[in-house]
Chains A and B, each alone.
Chain A
Amino acid sequence: MHTLSLPMMNRRRYFSALAWFTVFFLATLAIAPLVGATRISLLKALSSEIEFAENVDAHILFLARLPRILLAAITGASLSVAGAVFQAILRNDLAAPITLGVSSGAAFGAVLAISLGFSFTVLGFSSIPLAAFLGAMLAVTLVFSLVKSRQGELPTSIVLLAGVTVNFFFAALVMFIHYLSDVTQSFRIVRWLMGGLDITDYQTVFSICLPVFLGSAILMVIARDLNLISSGSHSAMSRGVNVPKIQKLGLVSASLITGAVVAISGPIGFVGLVVPHIVRLLIGPDQRILIPASMLFGASFLIICDTVARTVIAPTEIPVGVITALIGGPFFVWLLRRRKSG
């Protein structure tokens, strides 16, 4: 009887887990816009009797908070899903956008664009995000060209070492450029490096939707293959996974997603490393659940952190990266300890 119930259990687990993460996400999405330094009235904001141009509440809600919250959601979701996939492909807990050099590559691109005073737009993207995206892609290409994979066996420790090395290399370049730049540039560089979701509009939010949705769709398609790769690449091959192809697809998609959001939001740390671990502790390592659940939880997590960042010592804002680590760190440690004792 027990064995026959196992399959049903699996599917029920899947949908109930996703339902909870969805509810949590929708709740944060609904509550966060109403929280902030200025108290606003939802009724007044939605009221059709007041002209939009004169409706201050509507301005704050729709023009200041909502795009920012949507950006937080997409950024959180993207960093988390990228982390989950990097960890599965490299079979390592420490794999994340930061440890693979993606974030510092983006930082290098952005800082270069700021200091050289680039100002152009291509297809509606302005120079800094574009340069950041190219930097991220450059870093990933560098890391994986440093590593020769033979017969589908990715040498994890070498990839991570290469990632950390590329990370330091670009960090040094960033520091060098920063040192040479003048005060105004220096200020902009520091603000970018801290990461932030503050300067945004709907156009920016929509511009990163395409790469993020495309990348995540590919990752969903290869989710079961990723499960097999995470339990050994040779075993995966013998179960019919085209390991080199799936590794490439996964790494390119995850890097594309990361590059797109880091280009806009800056290098927000901790989310990509820890959210996948938190979700795995809650629902297990099956990528078919882990990918959507990490996206939902990562989105909620960054919305919450950003809400805290912009309200806790309002009107001054704290960089959201500070909050992600300050909230996420203790929470993760608590969860780890609870799991060990339970």
Chain B
Amino acid sequence: MTNPILQIKDVSFAYQQDPVVKRASLQVEPGEFIGILGPNGSGKSTLLKLMGGILGPDSGTVLLKDKELHDYKRKVLAQSIAWLPQEHDMAFSFRVGEIVLMGRHPYLSALTFESQKDFDISNQAMRTTETTHLSERQFNEISGGEKQRVMMACAIAQEPEVLLLDEPTTALDIKYQLEIINILDRLNRQDGMTLILAMHDLHLASKYCRRLILIDQGNIVKDGTPEEVLQKEILESVYGVKLKVFHDPDDGSILISPETSCIR
């Protein structure tokens, strides 16, 4: 039994009055590949931001290696945890290469340039995500799938132990979805990077994630293996629709399909 890398203890958070995350607790071991599932507005993104230290909890604690997130200096924390938003809105048109280099920020002090090492790491991250050919392009001019891969290169250049991704595949077509998820799978298996993804695609989640956390209205409803979480009764009560759940005969992954007259 290894020590947990990330611990969330009794965490609550509200943007205004209504709590978005309610007394959530969970532990993450190094090297896990976790999918966070739940309906729109269930608190997936907020939970992810709390884990990344982007939001501070109203009550409860978030610990990275037994130390509270807000006791870390931002740069030190950023060397361990990276977070990728769902959408990438650049105010100005940076080049792709410049954006990937920004991932090196936590390792650089003020008034310095990136060193050869930073360039090497960034170049390697672009090779991993197959974005090398884009490096001279303007970020605002590339496609959605390319943007997602470029931002992933940026996060990889950051060399985090834990990578948090907010719906990295939701806006993409199936080819790009698979590209992204395969890159993540490699990072997890080869480099041992701990991955936590908020996602909507239940099938993709069952196929790649080894652990799923289902949340609904800010509460963790179920936390376990895909087999344990993706059960007909649980999903039907959380999503409020009638579902059919069956297994892919080839790889045993779980397929979910709505009943024809689906709204209960």
A56 interface hit (Cβ, 8 Å): no
Contacts of A231 in B (CB 8 A): 88, 90-92, 94, 99, 102
Q: In the complex the two chains form, is B74's CB within 8 Å of A237's CB? A: yes
Identify which of B53, B75, B83, B97 contacts A235 (C-beta below 8 A).
B83
Cβ contact within 8 Å between B90 and A239: no
Interface members, chain B 60-87 (any A CB < 8 Å): 74-79, 81-85
Segment of B110-118, B195-203, B225-233 in the binding face? B110-118
User: With an 8 A cutoff between CB atoms, is B39 at the interface?
Assistant: no
- Residue pair B74, A7 in contact (C-beta under 8 Å): no
Cβ of B54 and Cβ of A234 under 8 Å apart? yes
Chain B, range 115-158, C-beta contacts under 8 Å to A: 116, 119, 123, 126-127, 132-133, 135-136, 158
Closest to B79 in A: A240
Please give the distance in Å from B242's CB to the nearest CB on chain A.
Answer: 37
User: In whole Å, how far is B93's beta carbon from the nearest beta carbon of chain A?
Assistant: 7
**B105–A232 contact, CB under 8 A?**
no
Query: Is B106's CB within 8 Å of the partner chain A?
Result: yes
Please report the number of residue pairs spanning A and B whose Cβ atoms sit closer than 8 angstroms.
Answer: 104
Q: Which of B54, B88, B116, B136 has the most CB of A within 10 A?
A: B54
Q: Give the distance in Å from the alpha carbon of A285 to the alpha carbon of B89 in the complex.
A: 14
Asked if B91 and A6 make an inter-chain contact with CB atoms under 8 angstroms apart, the answer reads: no
B49 interface residue per 8 A CB criterion? yes
Which chain A residue has the least Cβ–Cβ distance from B96? A6
Is A238 a contact partner of B78 (Cβ separation < 8 A)?
A: yes
Nearest-Cβ distance from residue A161 to partner chain B, whole angstroms: 18
* A contacts with B: majority SS: helix
Give the chain A neighbours of B133 by CB distance below 8 A. Answer: 2
Residues of chain B within 8 A (CB-CB) of A121 are none
Number of B positions contacting A (CB below 8 A): 49
Tell me which residues across on chain B come within 8 A of A238, comparing CB atoms.
52-54, 78, 81-83, 164
Contact with B along A1-19 (1 / 0, CB 8 A): 0111011001100000000
Question: Residues of B contacting A241 with CB < 8 Å?
Answer: 74, 105
B103 at the interface (CB under 8 A from A): yes
A331 to B93, CA, bound (A): 21
Q: Are A234 and B85 in contact (CB under 8 A)?
A: yes
- Rounded to whole angstroms, the CA-CA distance of A2 and B98 in the bound complex is 15
Interface flag for B171 (CB, 8 Å):
no
Interface string of A225-253 (1 = CB under 8 A from B): 10110111011011111100000000000
Report if B9 contacts A (CB, 8 A).
no
A234 and B93 alpha carbons, distance in the complex (Å): 18
Distance of A201 from chain B, by nearest CB (Å) = 34
Which residues on the B side are within 8 Å of A151 (C-beta)? 54-56
B160 to chain A, nearest CB (A): 9
**Proximity bits, A73-87, B CB within 8 Å = 1, else 0:** 000000000000001
- The residues of B that contact A286 with a CB separation of less than 8 Å are 94, 98
Q: Is the CB of A239 within 8 A of B106?
A: yes
Q: Do A284 and B95 form a contact, CB below 8 Å, given A222-B110, A234-B85, A237-B53?
A: yes
> B108 at interface (Cβ–Cβ under 8 A)?
yes
Give the distance to chain B from A110, nearest Cβ to Cβ, in Å.
33
Chain A proximity of B58: nearest CB distance (Å): 11
Tell whether A221 is near chain B: CB-to-CB under 8 Å: yes
Q: How far is the CB of B37 from chain A (nearest CB, A)?
A: 22
**Bound complex: CA of A91 vs CA of B91, how far in Å?**
5
Please give me the residue from chain A that is nearest to B88 by CB atom: A232
Decide if A221 touches B116 in the complex (CB within 8 Å).
no
Chain A residues with Cβ below 8 Å from B91 are: 87-88, 91-92, 230-231
Contact of B123 among A6, A91, A235 (CB under 8 A): A6
A224 contacts chain B at the CB level, 8 A cutoff: yes
Given A7-B114, A234-B83, A285-B94, verify A227-B102 contact (CB < 8 Å).
yes
Cβ of A273 to closest chain B Cβ, rounded Å:
15
Q: Give Cα distance in the complex from A310 to B116, angstroms.
A: 50
Contact indicator B94/A240 (Cβ below 8 Å): no
Q: How far is the CB of A176 from chain B (nearest CB, A)?
A: 37
Which residues of chain A have C-beta atoms less than 8 A from B78's C-beta? 238-240
State the CA gap A238–B97 with chains docked (Å). 19
Q: Which residues of A contact B89 (CB under 8 A)?
A: 232
Please tell me if the beta carbons of B94 and A4 are within 8 angstroms of each other in the complex.
no
CB-nearest residue of chain A relative to B91? A91
Chain A residue numbers with a CB within 8 Å of B93 are: 284-285
Tell whether A7 pairs with B55 under 8 Å between CB atoms, given A224-B105, A234-B49, A239-B102.
no
A227 CB contacts on chain B under 8 angstroms: 94, 102
- Per the bound structure, the CA–CA distance linking A220 and B112 in Å amounts to 11
Residues of B within 8 A of A92 (CB): 91
Of A220, A238, A284, the most chain B CB neighbours within 10 A belong to A238
Whole-angstrom distance between the Cβ of A145 and the nearest chain B Cβ: 21
Least Cβ–Cβ distance between A75 and chain B, in angstroms: 25
What is the CA–CA distance of A140 and B241 in the complex, to the nearest angstrom?
A: 52
What CA separation (Å) do A132 and B148 show in the bound complex?
A: 48
Q: Which 5 A-B pairs have the closest CB atoms?
A: A240-B78, A285-B92, A240-B106, A91-B91, A7-B119
* 8 CB-based A-B contacts, threshold 8 Å: A3-B132, A151-B55, A221-B111, A224-B105, A225-B105, A235-B84, A238-B82, A285-B93
- A2-B135, A231-B99, A280-B92 given. 5 additional CB < 8 A pairs? A151-B55, A220-B111, A231-B91, A232-B85, A234-B49
